[in-house]
Structure 1
């Protein structure tokens, strides 16, 4: 099982085919849920990459058990969201 942490904020979320779904805006380490901004614009990507963003109403909730791998720059899911 993958364990998510606040260190994962600002990483890209990728699907099983390597396509970018969005960017992780916030991680709730207690609930093990990543909040992902789908299709962020340039400004949002930059802010999230610096770790200054927060989740909002249009973010996708991605539970840790949906995440197959975590690298320095991305989270990759093993199923369609």
Structure 2
């Protein structure tokens, strides 16, 4: 099981095909949910990468159960979410 932490904020969320879905804006470490902005602009991506962002109304909620790998720069899910 993957464990999410606030250190995952600012990472890219990738689907099973390796396509970028969005950027992690916030992580609820207690509920184990990552909030992902599916359409971040360049400024948002930069702010998120520094760990200063927060979840927005249009963010996708991704439970830790759907995350299969975590690296220094990305979270990868076990599904194709890019069409949602």
Root-mean-square deviation (Å): 0.6
The DSSP-based 3-state class of the residue aligned with 1:75 is strand
Distance 2:16 2:39 in 1: 17
Q: Deviations over 1:17-63 (max 9, x none)?
A: 11000000000000000000002110100000111000010000000
Structure 2: 5+ residue runs without aligned partners?
Answer: none
Task: Give the aligned partner of residue 58 of structure 1.
Answer: 58
- How many residue pairs end up in the alignment? 81
TM-score w.r.t. the length of structure 2 is 0.94
Deviation at 1:79, TM superposition (A): 1.2
Where 1:69 maps in the other structure, the secondary structure is strand
Moved over 3 A (4+): none
Is the 8 Å Cα contact of residues 47 and 53 (structure 2) preserved in structure 1? Answer: yes
TM-score by length of 1: 0.97
Tell me by how many angstroms 1:80 deviates: 2.7
Q: Which residue of 2 aligns with 1:80?
A: 80
Q: 1:21 is paired with a residue of what secondary structure?
A: strand
Unpaired runs of at least 5, structure 1: none
